[in-house]
Amino acid sequence: MFDGRPVRIAHVEAALPLGNTVDPERAGELLDEALQQAHGRGHALAILISPAGGPGFARHGFRALPCSETACRTFLPAPWPKEPAWLRAGESALGRVAGLRPGRPEDIPDLTGIHAEEIAGQRLRIDRDCGAWEQIFLARGIPGRTGVARDPFWVIEKGGRVEAYVLLQALPPTLHWREHGARRGAESLLADLFWGVLGWARQDRLPRIEGWRMPEALTLEPLYPTSTRRRKENLAMIKALDPDSQAPEFEREDDCRLWELDFVPAD
């Protein structure tokens, strides 16, 4: 969706990084071929992630979108005063945070609705239907013997429906915050999810949490010390496939936020 109009957006696989695994000239030819094919199939825009920045893809007409990343340390030099008592005592959030539990496939309709609310105000957005969420669950694989996936996918349920969620991936020494969402009016639950994530990271001795986006409550209050900066790697880039059009321009990330799960399903 772009400026209120449904458009087809092609995700150009990162299997075409210029100069990475094949000759740069041949890589450029492969990329141009992929873009021509996407245009022929009726796609209006192409997006990709440039792992090492954007100069190579810029030569092919791609423009970087505003992209940021947020990170925090899981262990601080002194106890942070806003931490819940159960977290400070080293207890798990499961059983301590009301309604917190692992996500399940039957939650997909709720997750679909929450994510749609999260992106509703954007000029550029990638709508994710129930089928896309099913692929995310499938890609995460079968839970271990404990019945819990290695990388937490947690939800908070209230009154029989999911109100908030977070999906994570452990990439030691970092716990990667891949995506979150909350219904309107339930944004405060994201703080509860963060405390649970922080406790999980500490138990696994992961010193850092980072993601393309983390809950705004972390920085607005601030709830916990974090740092946010413009991304230098893994840039989201866009290109208009009509030869007579230019890639759309955006000044604010909130107008064109793309989530990791828009590109790479959970592993």
- SS3 letters across the chain: CECCECCCEEECCCCCCCCCCCCHHHHHHHHHHHHHHHHHCCCCEEEEEECCCCHHHHCCCCEECCCEEEEEECCCCCCCCCCCHHHHCCCCCCCCCCCEEECCHHHHHHHHHHHHHHHCCCCECCCCCHHHHHHHHHHCCCCCCCCCCCCCEEEEEECCEEEEEEEEEEECCEEEEEEEEECCCCCCHHHHHHHHHHHHHHHCCCCEEEECCCCCHHHHCCCCCCEEEECCCCEEEEEECCCCCCCCCCCCHHHCCCCHHHCCCCC
Could you tell me if residue 226 is inside a domain? yes
Q: 182 and 56 in one domain?
A: no
185/17: higher pLDDT: 185
| pLDDT at 146 > cutoff 60 | no
Q: 97 and 33 in one domain?
A: no
Q: 149 and 181 in one domain?
A: yes
Q: 121 and 74 in one domain?
A: yes
Average predicted confidence (pLDDT) for the chain: 88
User: What's the confidence (pLDDT) of residue 68?
Assistant: 94
How many domains are there within the chain? 2
Q: 145 and 37 in one domain?
A: no
Could you tell me if residue 267 is inside a domain? no
Q: 107 and 165 in one domain?
A: yes
| pLDDT at 133 > cutoff 70 | yes
Could you tell me if residue 2 is inside a domain? no
What does the pLDDT average to over 132-149? Answer: 66
* pLDDT, tens only, 233-245: 889 999 999 988 8
Q: 184 and 76 in one domain?
A: yes
Q: 58 and 23 in one domain?
A: yes
User: What's the confidence (pLDDT) of residue 12?
Assistant: 84
16 band by pLDDT with thresholds 50, 70 and 90: low
CATH number at residue 226: 3.40.630.30
| pLDDT at 218 > cutoff 90 | no
User: What's the confidence (pLDDT) of residue 15?
Assistant: 44
Tell me the pTM: 0.88
Q: 176 and 49 in one domain?
A: no
Could you tell me if residue 113 is inside a domain? yes
Could you tell me if residue 3 is inside a domain? no
Domain that holds residue 209: 68-230
* pLDDT, tens only, 63-81: 999 999 999 999 999 989 9
| pLDDT at 149 > cutoff 60 | no
Range in 55-59, 205-209, 239-243, 257-261 with the lowest mean pLDDT: 55-59
